[in-house]
Amino acid sequence: MKTLKVGDKSPDFTLPSDSGKNIKLSDFEGKKVVLYFYPKDDTPGCTKQACGFRDLSADFSKKKTVVLGISRDGLESHQKFRKKYDLNFPLLSDEDKKIHVLFGAWGKKMMYGKESIGVIRTTAIIDESGILVSLKHGVKAEPNPSNTLTLVS
Q: What pLDDT is stored for residue 114 in this prediction?
A: 86
Q: Contact at 8 Å (CB) between 119 and 37?
A: yes
Q: Contact at 8 Å (CB) between 86 and 63?
A: no
SS3 (DSSP) at 27: helix
pLDDT in tens, 41-58: 999 999 999 999 999 999
Q: What superfamily does domain 30-151 belong to in CATH?
A: Glutaredoxin (3.40.30.10)
- Residue 46 bears catalytic tag: yes
What residue segments make up the domains of the chain, in order of their start? 30-151
DSSP output for 29-74:
TTSEEEEEE-S-TTSHHHHHHHHHHHHTHHHHHHTTEEEEEEESS-
Which of 46, 99, 132, 139 is an active site residue? Answer: 46
Residues of the chain with pLDDT under 50: none
Q: Is the pTM of this model over 0.85?
A: yes
